[in-house]
Structures are given as structure tokens and as C-alpha cells.
Structure 1
Amino acid sequence: MIHKATVDAVFEAARVEEVIGDFVQLKKAGSNFKGLSPFSEEKTPSFMVSPVKQIWKDFSSGKGGNVVAFLMEHEHFTYPEAIKYLAKKYNIEVEETEQTDEQKQQADERESMFLVSEFANTFFQNSLHKTEEGKAIGLTYFKERGFTEDTIKKFSLGYSPNSWDAFTAEAIKKGYNLDYLEKTGLTIVKEEKQFDRFKGRVMFPIQSMSGRVLGFGGRILSNEKKAAKYLNSPESDIYHKSKILYGISHAKQTIAKEDNCYLVEGYTDVIQFYQTGIKNVVSSSGTALTTDQIRLINRLTKNITVLFDSDAAGMRASIRGIDLILEQGMNVKVCSFPEGEDPDSFAKQNTLEELTTYLEENAQDFISFKASLLQQESKDDPIKKAELIRDMVTSISKIPDVIKREIYVRECSRIMDISEEVLFDTLAQIRNVDIKDQRKQQKQSQKSMEVVKPATEKPQKVDRQHLLERSIIGVLLLYGAQEEEFEDMMLKENEDGELVMEPEVHTAKVFEKIYLDLQEDEIEFAHDNFQEIYGAIINQLHQTEEFKVDVFVNTVSPEIASEITEILMNEEKYKIDRWHDKEIHVKLKKHSVSQYVNDIILNLRGHLVGKKIEELKESLNSPENNEGNHDILSDISDYLYLRKILSDKLNRVI
């Protein structure tokens, strides 16, 4: 268990915009930051981060919370793991008591798989650096590739001994469950036997964006013909190869800073580039580029430069990936290396300055690259040239932005010496076919998911009390400790014995005004979460002179923190300026905080009085009505008069 002092130090040091900025490209939007949601597919940013309140809100998925909540949602960390991650990021020493055996057993299956993967990572590193076999075979190989000690440690490279069960036996000895060894793919289990998947290979740990070990890639160094040169962990609950990029945890900050990502093919390409000094580089790890991998980059930058070997197979694979990148609305450039070179070898032989210069001078726009590459194949064959042009227009058709499409059509016309009119006609044909296919798929999807709706579907009723209670919480969070001058309209008897309303001015803190008014009317919140938040805020405001939202939100449960975040970020997004649509007559922009508080309280009172009137009206016709209609009608009359008074106080007719 982590000591409270460590947790407090972490929350004090961590900045939500810095932590989330490692995973999402954030842009300034007033006092906040905005970015693309990391939890859903979107092209218009709806993800908001508030540095002032130290919270975030994703309006597309509804998720939100503090910095720890983000790591728990995005990286699937447990609470302690999120705290440890932040402690490491901000160089805070973690004080904790050792977990009991019972606590270890309570870890869920997914978490157990992460623990097994971390143990394997440590085992392979120790095997590389501390065993004779590891030093002689694994370390020698890495150094022959030109990797320094620092680079080897940076990427946590390792070695799996050339023994059938060296890792498995050690893991079981340390108390790790064979079931999780098998589920992570580290151990292969057959009948009563079990053996290591990565026997005799140098190891490349594959990490998530935050640096958690998800799986491994292993390269064999012997000349066994039957064994695959590279072997990856199989798919599991924690490792999905189509959704992760090798090197992303090391590259994320530089990608966002440089606003560009270099995409290569293999592990060693990434490592060699990084060692040379170009750190915004990732790899699809030998798999074909996927939409999920592109979206991972899209959170950090809109610009991708695809780097590939000079061989024809590598080029064709890159072309297939380009269309996927264009579909996501991203900008793509392509750069090939001289014949016989790949990113790894070229980076190894050149300085940072030489490598940077080469990339700048040789990175081509995808249209120019595709034209030069495919022209070599078509040569003087008119039929092949026609196919080439159609292929280029097909790529252009993938671009969502209409202006970019037009610019690329004009560029294609210039390069291929063909009229723009023909290209625009071809583009229209291709897009029409695509649109028809999409509509067909949508219809099939809707048909398969068709739900019979009731003949008359009533519109959803607005819960006015929920909105009012929510707004009281919002006011307390934003202005609770603020001192204001309140003008209350009090009923007083004049000289003629008539009841009239007269203003009475007094000064109070916002939370005191709300607390006393609700106490006076014996009003309790109808929604449990709001009642809990209200109690916690009032308690905190009574105890401290200085109330800070960013500190308060870290003292409550994740569920309550999420509710608070939603209230605050909706305040940011909508400024409560659509209440008239919901028959709640508050004009925040035209009134002071004190008037706003009065309006909310009076609206809540009016709403509750209205509910009471409706209840009394229903009881008139109730079979259980034994008191007679006279008393009920008298009560209704009193409540109607009270509602009129509230209307007068609001200076409007409700």
C-alpha cells in the first residue's frame, strides 16, 4: 500500500496537461486545452483539459476526472500503478508497505498478466547483462548492431537463454501462475510439458504508450531453417499487435513537439534512429499498418513521414499504408533510402546532421513519390500508365478534405500530363462508388441491428431537479468560498396590515447562503451522488479558508471525481446558457454571482412547490383519501399562494 504522503506529493507535483500531453496532442483553447479523444474515433476535437482545475473531460465518450483517472482509463492502470507512474515521471520516491499474499491474489487476471510480463522483462534483461551466455551471444549481437549500453538499457533489450524452460522454471519458482505464463504467450503448454516460447532469442519488449510491457518480439541468432527469424507474442488480453506501435512510449513527447512522426518497419530501425538523435520514430513491428495504429499517431500529430527500404516489396507495402493514412485525414510524406540501405544501416553510417539533411531533402509528397515509383513499372506502356493514373486518383479519393483533394488533383495533372477535367471526372466516379458502398454497408448494418420501436415514443422529460441540484454543486465548486452581497426579498407587514415584500441586504459567503437556505427549507438533494458531493464540499468549506477545486477533486472517490469533472467541464463548455430551453430561468451572463445563487435557490423552491401541488392534486382522487377534499384543497391553495410569492421574488411568471 502506498503511503498517503507519497500520494499527496504526486498530486501536488503532477500537472494534468503535461501528463495527458504525453498521450494526446493538446492545443490551447482559451484557458483550457483541446485535443482529439483518445477513447473514440473523431476528427473534431471534443477532449478538454483544464489546467486551472486540473481535470479533463472527453465529451465524445463521457469519461472524465483527474490525472489519475486518465491513466486508469487510458492505460488500464490500477490506482496504485497510476500513482507509481506519476511518481516516476516527477522523480518522487514511493513509500509503500509490502502487499500481503491475500492482496496479491486479489489482483485481477489482466493485472496478473501485466505482472508476468514485467517479470519476464526483468528476467530477460538480467539474462543479457548478468549471465555468460547472455553477454557472449545477446550483448555481442546488440553491440555488433552498433547499439550503446545506454541505448540497450533505454529500450530494455534482453536475452532469452537457449534452454527449453529457463524462464518458465524461474517464473514458477518465484510464484507466478502457469496459467498467466501461458495466456501471455511466454510459455507454451502441451499436455504435462511446458517450455519457453522465446528460447535462444534476443528480446525486444513491446510497450504501451505509458511504458507498460504488453508483449515481446524475439529474434533468433542461430541458423535453424525451421525457426522463424522474428517471433512475436501471440494476441492476448493485454497485447493486440494491430493497436500498438513499437517505440511509441519513447517517441510520444518528441512526436508532439516536432509535430511529425517517422514510421519505419522494424525494431532495430527505431532503435538506431533514436540512438542517432531522431526520437520521433515508431514501427509497426513487421505487421501491415492498421487504422488503429494510425489513430495512435493521430492523437499526437497530423503529419507522418513513411520511411522504407529500397526493395520493391517494402515500397509496395508502404503504398498500401499511405491510403490508410490519407483516410484518417492526415498528411503523409514518403522517403526511401539508397539502394541496399534501410533506415537502420543508413542511420548507423551517418551523423544526426547528415541524417536530418537527407530526410529533409528526400522526403516526397505521396503524389510525387507514387508517380515516380509507378512510372518505372509502367514505362512507355499506355495501358499501365492509365492504371497508374487511376491508382493515384484512388489515393486522392481517400482524402476527406475537399480542398486538399483539389490541390492533389491539380498536382497529379501536372506530373502525369493529363487534363484536370478527366481527373476530376475519374475522382467523382470513384467517390460515388465508395459512397454507394458505404450506404449499402450502413443499410446492412442497420438491418441487422433493427429494433422495433413503440408506435408512439414520448420525448424524454427534462429532470429539472437534477439540473438545479447539479448547478448548486457547480456554484459551490466555482464560487463557494467567495464573499458576496445578497439581496433577499422578505415578507413584512406594512402599516395597513398587508404582507408586502421588502429588500434586505446582507453579506455572506456563497456556501453559507446556499447552506442556510437549504437548511431553512429542509431541502435534501434527490440524487445520491449530488448529496454526497454537496456534503463533502460544505464540510471542506467549513473547515478551510482556502478552497481549491484541484486539491478537493483528489480527495474524493474516482466515481465522485468523475461526477465533479463532468459538472465543471460542462460549465466550461456550455456556461449554463441554455436553461431557457429547459424552463429554468437563469441568466448567468447578465447577473452577478449573488443573483445567480438567488435564482437557483428560488427555482429549486418553485420546482419543489410545484411537485407538492401535483402530489396534492393526485391525492384528491386517491381511494386512500380519508381526510376529505376540503383540507387538501386548502393545502393546494396555500402552496399556490407560496408559488406566487416565489414568482414575485423572481420578478417573473413561472
Structure 2
Amino acid sequence: MISKSTIDKVYETSRLEEVIGDFVQLKKSGSNFKGLSPFSDERTPSFMVSPVKQIWKDFSSGKGGNVVAFLMEHEHFTYPEAIKYLAKKYNIEIEETERTDEQKEEANERESMYLVSEFAQKHFSEMLWNSELGKAIGLSYFKERGFTDEIIKKFGLGYCLDQWDGFTMAALDKGYQLKYLEKTGLTIVKQDANNPNNPKKFDRFKARVMFPIHSMSGRVLGFGGRILKNDKKAAKYLNSPESDIYHKSKVLYGIYYAKQAIAKEDNCYLVEGYTDVIQFYQRGIENVVASSGTALTPEQIRLINRLTKNITVLFDGDAAGLRASLRGIDLILEQGMNVKVCSFPEGEDPDSYAKKHAFEEVKTYLEENSKDFIQFKANLLAKEAANDPIKRAETVRDIVNSIAKVPDAIKKEIYIQECAQIMNVSEGVLFTTLAQISKKERTDTSKREYQEQKEKAFAVVRNEEAVEKVDVQYELERKIIEMLLLYGNESEEFEDLVLKENEEGDLILEPESLESKVYEKIYLDLQEDEIELANVQFRNIYYKLIEELNEKEEFSISTFLSELDQDLVAEISSIMMEEEKYTLHNWERKDIYPKDKRKGVAQLVSETILTLRCFLIKKRMFALQNETKESLTDNRETLEEIMNYLQLNKLLNKKLNRVL
């Protein structure tokens, strides 16, 4: 278990905007930061981070919370893992007791798979540095590639010995379960009909140098293994199979090491292989990732999109490789990103070029040879179709097809102008072609949507659903929690209402001014009327808040949240960030300036409490009315009580300036 003092120190030291900034590109928005949601596919920001409150809210998915909640949601960490991650980031020493075997067994499946993967990375690294075969084969290979000891250790490179089950037996000896070794794909298990209780076990990555594949937060998800022997039957590169923790279409090799540089440089270099990434990083160009030999996917592009809008695709001069990369570029354009392309001289790739040249030379080459994708694609295809009119027409249509995928209308027009100059075709013809392609896409989309609606119409039985009513009490109780969180410790001048009898014997409310802290005013008013919050979650938060505000002079939301269950943290973040969503719309640009709520805190508190009183009075009156309808006895006392409530309700509504 992690000690309470360590957890407190982690919360005190952690800065939410810094932690989230490692995963999402954030831009200043008033006193807050905003960015694209890391939990859904979107093009306009709906993700809000408040450094003052130390909470975040994703308005597209409804998720929210503090720094730990973000790591648990985004990286699927357990609570202890999130604390450990933050402790490592901020160099905080962790005080904890060793996990027992029972605790290891209790960990959920995903966590067990992460633990197995982390053990595998350490084991392969140990074999590389400390075993004779590892040093002679694996380490020699990495040294031949020009990798330094420092870079080999940084990327966690390793070697799996040329043994049928060397790694598997080592993992089993350490107490890791075979089912998780099989689920992560590290071990291949084959049932033996002659001995069903003792299946055959093989190391998947036998005799391969190992490249660990990390998540954006640094967790080991899977591996890439390269064979060094000349074995025609074996694949040169072998990746971990798909699992609960590893989805190759959603992962980019090197993203963990590159994320800060990508955000800082506002550009991402996209290469093909593991060694391309490592060689570039070693040379000093750190904003580089690889698609690990797989075709680029929308999920991978969105991963980069969180950090930057700019991608530069790098590849060698191989014609087949160029064609494959051009297909990937169209996908990048669809995501609304800016694409440049850079090819290396014939016979060179990013790895070999970076190995032979100094940092400044590589940097200069990239700057001078990175071309806009339209320019690059047009030049490439124009060469292929030089003296063939039919091929040339196909080339023009191919380029316009790519332009059609760009969401931004201004960019489309600029690209058309550029393409017209390169291909020596009139802009009018290109615009007409673009309009035809766009019209066809719209028609196809409409047909598809119509077909889907038609299918739904036949499949779904009409079901008239009642219009959802606003739960007034829920909203008022939520507002009370919000006021306690935002203004609980602030002192305000309140105008209190005291119920008195005038000379004629009628009840009247007389105003009396008093200064009080917001939390005291709310607590005493609710206590006086014996009002208890009906919502269980709000009630739990309310009592914890009152206790915290009463006992501590300085109320810290961050500290308060650190002591709550994560479900309450999510609810509180949702309450506190509710009004932040309006800042996403930049009202000031439209000359609309929302009134600062802080200027009317006393009025807000008084009106909320009064409204809740009125609501509960009406609720009580309805209950009493129902009693009189069902009762056969004398109802004079009940009717008198109803009349008193009516008079009180009238007085309270008068104070609220409401006409009954």
C-alpha cells in the first residue's frame, strides 16, 4: 500500500495542466486551457482543463475529474498506478509495502497483462546486457546499427535467447501465470493430447532482438521482434498479437518519447520502422514516431492530432513505398491536418541517412526537402504520366480526389490553384472536377444515411417516450454543492428574512443584514428548516464539504478531491466545470460578455435556498392534500396546516419577485 503522506505529496506537487499536456495539445483559454477530446473523435475543442480548480472536463464524452482520474480514464491505470506515475514524473519517493502474492492474483486481467509485459521488457533487457549470447548477438546488432548504450537503455531494447521456452520458464518461476503470458502473446501454448495437464509452451520471440512498444504514458503494451538468423521460413519482423492491452492500429512506436517534442516543435515526423525512430531520436530529432510497418490508421492519426496539426511523412525513394505512403496521406487529410512529405535520396532511408549525417545536416535536409503534399504528389505522378494524355488526366483526378478530402474550404482553393500551376490545367476545370467529386460523395452519404434510416424504420417498433422532466430538487441540490465548492469559504453580506407577526396579526418577512461565510449560511438555513439533501451522492459530498470547510481555514479543492472516492470526484468535476463549457464558444469575439457570477454570490445563495424552500413547501402541500382526499376523518388541522404553508409560500415567492 502507498502511504498517505506520499499520496498527499503527489497531489500537492502535481500540476494538472502539465500532466494532461503530455497527452493532449492544450491552448490557453482565459484562465483555463482547452483542447481536442482524447476520448472521442472531434475537430472542435470540447476538452477543458482548469489549473485553478485542478480539475478537467470533457464535454463531448461527459467524463471529468482530477489528475488521477485523468490517468485512470486515459491510460486505464489503477489508482496506485496513477499515483506511482505522478510520483515518478515529479521525482517523489514512494513509501509503500511490497505486494503480496494474493494481491497480485487479485489484480484484474488487464493489470496482470501489463505486469507480464513489464516483466518481459526487463527480462529481455537483462538478457541483452548480462548473458553471453545476448551480448554477442543482440548487443552487437544494436551497436552495428550505431546505437549508443544510453539510447539502447532509454528505449528498453532487449534480446530473447535462442531457447524454446527460456523466457516462459523464467516468467513462471517469478510467479506470473501462463494464461497472461499466452494472452499477451509472449508465449505460444499448444495442448498436448497425451498430457492435457501439461501443455507445450514456446517463446514467441525466440532468437530475436526486442523493441518494446509503449503507450503514450510509457506502459509496455507489446513488442516487435527482429530475427537475426537467415531463416527463410521465419518473418523478419514479428509483432505481438492483438490483445486487451495492445491494438496495433491504435499505437504509434515512439509516441511516449516523442510526445513533448511534438507539442513543442508543433510538428511530427512519421517514419516506417523502429530503427528509423531510434536513429532520429539519437541524432537529436525527438519529434518522430513510426506506424510500425502497418498501414496508417485514423486512430493513429488522431493520436498525433492531440499533440499537433502538422505531420511530415518521411520515406525512402522506393517507388512502391511512395505509393503506399500516398494512400496514408489521404487519411491524414481527412482528419483536417496539414501534411508535408520528404523523401530521401535513392538507396537511403531515415535510419541510414541520420546515421551518416550530423544533427544540423539532417535538420537542414528535412527543412529544404519537405514539400507540401499536393506539390509532392503532383510532381511524382506527373513524371509517371509525362507523355500519356490519358494517364495525365487520371493523375489530375487522383490529385483532386485528395484535395476533396480536405475539410477546410480555403485550403481546398489554395491547393486547387497550386495543382493547376504544376499540372498546367485551368483552375476552372479543376474546380468543376472538385465539385463533381464532392457532389458524388454527398449523394453517396445521403443514400447510405437513407438506407440506414430505412432499415431502422423497419426494425424499430414505435415507442412513444415521455418527455423527460427537469428534476427541480436535483438541480437545486446540485447548485448548493457548486456554491459550497466555489465560494464556501468566502464571507458575504446576506439579507436574511425573519418571520414576524405585524400589529394586525399577519405573518410578514422582515429583512435583517448579517455577514457570514457562505458555507455557514447554507448549513444554518438547511439546519433551521431540517432540510436534508435527497440525492445520496450530493448528501455525501455535502457533509464532507461542511466538515472540511469548518475544520480547515484554507480550503483546497485539490486536497479535498484527493480524499474522495473516484465516483464522487467525477461528479464534483462535472459540477464545477459546468459553466466552463460556455467559454468554448468565445462569446467575447461576438461582443457578448457574460456577467461574472462572483459579483452576486450572496444573492445566488439566498435565492437558491429560498427556491428549495418553496419547492419543498409545495411538495409538502401536495402530500397533505392527498392525505385529505384519502382520509374519512376530520381534516380541519391538516387544512389549517396547508393554509399556513400557502401563506409562507406566498411570502417566499414575494421575496423572490415571483408572481403566483
The alignment's TM-score, normalised by the length of structure 2, stands at: 0.95
* Aligned equivalent of 1:210: 217
User: For 1:629 and 1:401, how far apart are their aligned partners in 2?
Assistant: 72
RMSD (CA atoms): 1.6
Counterpart selection for 1:543 from 514, 537, 551: 551
Q: Is the 8 A contact 1:251 1:281 kept in 2?
A: yes
**Deviation at residue 639 of structure 1 after TM alignment:** 1.6
| Cross-structure match for 1:79 | 79
Letter aligned with residue 517 of structure 1: D
- In the other structure, the counterpart of 2:581 is 573
Report the Cα distance in structure 2 between the residues aligned to 1:304 and 1:573, rounded to whole angstroms. Answer: 29
Out of 333, 342, 352, the residue aligned to residue 326 of structure 1 is 333
Retained in 2: the 8 A contact 1:52–1:550?
A: no
Give the conservation status (yes or no) of the 8 Å contact 2:283–2:359. yes
Higher relative contact order (CA 8 A, sep 6+): 2
Is residue 2:638 matched to residue 1:638? no
Corresponding residue of 1:579? none
Change in 2 beyond 3 A, CA 1:620/1:409 = farther
Cα deviation, 1:549-600, whole Å, max 9, x if unaligned, reads: 122111111010111100000033359xxxxxxxxxxx97496211111001
Q: Is the 8 A contact 1:588 1:596 kept in 2?
A: no
Aligned to 1:485: 493
Q: How does 1:340-359 map to 2 (within 5 A)?
A: 340-359=347-366
Matching residue of 2:284: 277
Cα drift, residue 427 of structure 1: 0.8
Following the alignment from structure 2 to structure 1, what is the Cα–Cα distance between the partners of residues 520 and 257?
A: 50
CA–CA distance in structure 1, aligned partners of residues 657 and 215 of structure 2:
59
**Structure 2 residue 437 is matched with structure 1 residue 430:** yes
Which residue is 2:591 aligned to? none
Q: Which amino acid aligns with 1:370?
A: K
Deviation at 1:634, TM superposition (A): 2.8
Partners of 2:128 and 2:139 within 8 A in 1: yes
Alpha-carbon offset, residue 540 of structure 1: 0.4
**Equivalence map 1:76-155=2 (5 Å):** 76-155=76-155
CA distance in 2 between partners of 1:373 and 1:170 (Å): 52
**Deviation, structure 1 residue 392:** 0.3
Unaligned 5+ segments in structure 1 are 576-586
Aligned residue for 1:592, secondary structure, equals helix
Q: Do the aligned residues in 1 keep the contact of 2:404 with 2:434 (CA within 8 Å)?
A: yes
Structure 1: how far apart are the matches of 2:518 and 2:461? 47
Asked whether the equivalents of residues 25 and 36 of structure 2 are also in contact (C-alpha less than 8 Å), the reply is yes
1: CA distance between counterparts of 2:227 and 2:596? 68
Shift of 1:506: 1.1
Q: Distance in 2 between matches of 1:464 and 1:242?
A: 46
Match of residue 362 from structure 1: 369
Identity %: 67
Measure how far apart 1:411 and its partner are: 1.2
For this pair of structures, how many residues does the alignment match?
641
Match of 1:165 in 2: 165
Counterparts of 1:168 and 1:455, CA distance in 2: 56
Name the counterpart of 2:196: none
For residues 403-431 of structure 1, the C-alpha deviation after alignment (integer angstroms, 9 at most, x for no partner) is: 11111111111111111111111111111
Kept after mapping to 1: 8 A contact 2:38/2:306: yes
- 1:19 corresponds to: 19
Q: CA deviation at 1:444?
A: 3.7
Question: 2:508 matched to 1:500?
Answer: yes
Cα offsets for 1:176-231 (capped at 9, x unmatched): 11111111110111122111010000000000000100000000011111111000
* 1:479-628 correspondence runs (5 A): 479-574=487-582, 589=597, 592-622=600-630, 625-628=631-634
Shift of 1:95: 1.2
Aligned counterparts of 2:200 and 2:451: Cα–Cα separation in 1: 48
* Structure-2 residue corresponding to 1:582: none
Amino acid at match of 2:527: Q
- 1:175 aligned to 2:175? yes
Q: 1:612: how far off? A: 1.8
Report the TM-score when normalising by structure 1.
0.96
Partner SS, residue 129 of structure 2: helix
2:577 alignment partner, SS class: helix
Matched, 1:221 2:228: yes
Q: 1:95 to 1:652 in 2, by over 3 A?
A: same
Q: Is the 8 A contact 1:474 1:571 kept in 2?
A: no
Letter paired with 2:633: E
Distance 1:183 1:397, change over 3 A: same
Amino acid of the residue matched to residue 481 of structure 2? I
Q: Out of 157-166 and 408-417, give the one that drifted further.
A: 408-417
| Alignment partners' CA distance in 1, 2:651 and 2:615 | 13
Return the offset for 1:492: 2.5
Conserved in 2, the CA contact under 8 Å of 1:157 and 1:203? yes
Say whether the 8 Å CA contact 2:59–2:581 is kept in structure 1: no
Structure 2 residue identity aligned to 1:249: Y
What is the one-letter code of the residue matched to 1:592? G
SS at match of 2:296: coil
Give, in whole Å, the separation in 2 of the partners of 1:571 and 1:606.
25
8 Å CA contact 2:258–2:288 kept in 1: the answer is yes
Amino acid at match of 2:287: N
Once residues 221 and 636 of structure 1 are traced to their aligned partners in structure 2, the CA distance between those partners, rounded to angstroms, is 89
State the SS of the aligned residue for 1:219. strand
Alpha-carbon distance in structure 1 between the residues aligned to 2:235 and 2:454: 44
2:387 & 2:98 partners in 1: Cα distance? 74
Q: Are residues 651 and 193 of structure 1, via their aligned partners in 2, closer, same or farther at CA, if it must alter by over 3 Å?
A: same
> Does the alignment pair 1:317 with 2:339?
no
Taking the aligned partners of 1:443 and 1:100, their CA distance within structure 2 comes to 58
Quick one: structure 1 residues 448 and 102, their matched pair in 2 at CA, closer, same or farther if it must change by over 3 Å?
farther
AA paired with 1:611? Answer: K
- Shift of the 174–449 alpha-carbon distance from structure 1 to 2, 3 Å rule, reads farther
Question: How far 1:538 moved relative to its partner?
Answer: 0.1
1:18-76 CA-to-partner distances (Å, cap 9, x unmatched) read: 00000000000000000000000111100000000111110111111010110000000
Which sits farther off after the overlay, 178-187 or 490-499?
490-499
